[in-house]
Amino acid sequence: MKKQLISISMTSLMIYLLFCCPSYAGEHKISELHRKMAEISSLKQKLSQKISLAMQKQEQLNQKVAELEKEIKFEKEQLQIKSYLKATRNPRIEFDLKLIQLLIGYLYGINEKISSFQNGYQTLVFFQQQAQDDLRMIKTLNDMEIDKLISQINSVLDEFFPELSKPVFDAQSIPMKDTEKIWNEIIQQQNAKG
């Protein structure tokens, strides 16, 4: 009798596990995908804010470069400066050229970061769409496909969440454009206009 009771209990347990566990696993995967989608939405919003801030800084730097170029052109005309060597002997022009050199480096760093953030944002949009599609098809997907998607989402989240706490760019590693090249570009712009 005990053996029969144990056998019935084991059979009942197996049937219960067979029917209940897949639905529990599916519900767990659904809730995991919902959590990941919420994380993606949060990160997208933060990336969007960072992109907006970086673009504002980019515009400010571009305006400052334009002002400095205008000042250099004015000084060049006033003092009848024809060569780079003579231009660098003028403290105002030399200072403006070095400042433009620095600002161009900053612009390079900001442009790189904007591009990185925009790529990250598009990647998140892709994974968010894939997660939404997978939620619609959750019954037909197997656990390995869902786990793979969650792993990919985690990888992207792990890559971009730390970026949000960093400055938009690192001023220590900016490339420096040669001031003579900057001078020549300003002169070419001026000659082309008039």
Q: For the chain, which residues make up each domain, given as ranges?
A: 28-193
Tokens of 10: 């084991």
The arithmetic mean of pLDDT across residues 94-108, rounded, is 94
∠ CA 86-88-90, nearest 5°, is 80
Query: From CA 97, how far away is CA 184, in angstroms rounded?
Result: 11
What pLDDT does residue 69 have? 94
Q: Which runs of consecutive H residues, i.e. helices, occur in the chain?
A: 2-79, 84-88, 91-136, 143-164, 179-193
Cα distances (Å, whole numbers) of residue 124 to 37, 78, 167:
9, 54, 21
As a whole number, the mean pLDDT across the chain is 79
The arithmetic mean of pLDDT across residues 13-38, rounded, is 61
What pLDDT does residue 73 have? 93
Query: From CA 167, how far away is CA 165, in angstroms rounded?
Result: 7
What pLDDT does residue 68 have? 95
Give pTM, 2 decimals: 0.69
- pLDDT class for 78, splitting at 50, 70, 90? very high
Output 136 or 96, whichever has higher pLDDT: 96
